[in-house]
Structure formats: structure tokens, C-alpha cells
């Protein structure tokens, strides 16, 4: 069974940093692109970032470009999101999601984790 388990969410002050992790199991991790999607309290879904299965290509939403970095470690079957210069508007539940291909363009997210909560507040 495909499983994704996020961790690392916390309360952090504005300007602070946080690293989220997503532990994957039940599939060959390096064969699939992965993504982070967030949802602010009471709001809709917002795509944040995607990475190919090999890790050699990444893409970011304008709202996080230059502040967030997506990466993956296939030896640990883990996806990461390094979040720097955090702002109040980054407060959200962060979901990791698996694509149905090693690429993210022209392919879709078919499995989602349960999410981890990030709160940015002083």
C-alpha cells in the first residue's frame, strides 16, 4: 500500500526556518515525481513545489520561489521541503503528494499524505 507520512510541522516565528519531511513507502520512490501542496486555514489548495523522480528538475510557485527548496533522498525514501524566511501567510497544512510518473508535467498527483501543520506567528 502506498503511504506518505509528513512530519516537521511546528510553530515558528516570522523570518524563521523549518524543514518538512515526507516518508514514502509502498512504491519505488525514485520512479515518481513528488510535490508539496498547502492549504491555509479555511482556504483552498495551493500547489507549492514539485520535483522529478530523479531530483534533477524542480519547480516552485511564485509565492515561495527563492525561500523554499524541495529535495529528495532516494536512499531514505524521503521528500523534503526546506522553508526559509517564513511569513504569516505561509501558515497552512502542508501535504506531500505522489505523481503517477517520474515527471510532473502532463502527469497528476494520485496519492496524498495526511499533512503536517505549519504555523508562522510571533
* Nearest-approach distance from CB 103 to other proteins, in angstroms: 10
Nearer to other proteins, 82 or 105 (CB): 105
Between CA 64 and CA 74, with CA 68 as vertex, the angle to 5 degrees is 135
CA atoms within 13 A on the CB side of 109: 18
Which position has the grid cell 523570518? 15
Cell numbers linked to 64: 515561495
* Nearest-approach distance from CB 114 to other proteins, in angstroms: 6
Where along the sequence are the contacts to other proteins (CB under 8 A)? Answer: 35, 37, 44-47, 50, 59, 61-62, 95, 104-115
Nearer to other proteins, 23 or 111 (CB): 111
Nearer to other proteins, 80 or 95 (CB): 95
Nearest alpha-carbon partner for 83 in 6, 8, 30? 8
* Nearest-approach distance from CB 81 to other proteins, in angstroms: 15
Amino acid at each position: 500500500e502506498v503511504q506518505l507520512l509528513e512530519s516537521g510541522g511546528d510553530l515558528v516565528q516570522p523570518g524563521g526556518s523549518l524543514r518538512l519531511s515526507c516518508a514514502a513507502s509502498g512504491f519505488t520512490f525514485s520512479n515518481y515525481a513528488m510535490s508539496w501542496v498547502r492549504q491555509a486555514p479555511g482556504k483552498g489548495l495551493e500547489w507549492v513545489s514539485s520535483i522529478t523522480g530523479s531530483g534533477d528538475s524542480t519547480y516552485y510557485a511564485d509565492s515561495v520561489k527563492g525561500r523554499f527548496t524541495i529535495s529528495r533522498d532516494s536512499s531514505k525514501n524521503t521528500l523534503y521541503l526546506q522553508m526559509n524566511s517564513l511569513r504569516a501567510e505561509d501558515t497552512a497544512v502542508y501535504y506531500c503528494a505522489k505523481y503517477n510518473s517520474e515527471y510532473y508535467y502532463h502527469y497528476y498527483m494520485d496519492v496524498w499524505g495526511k499533512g503536517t501543520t505549519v504555523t508562522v506567528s510571533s
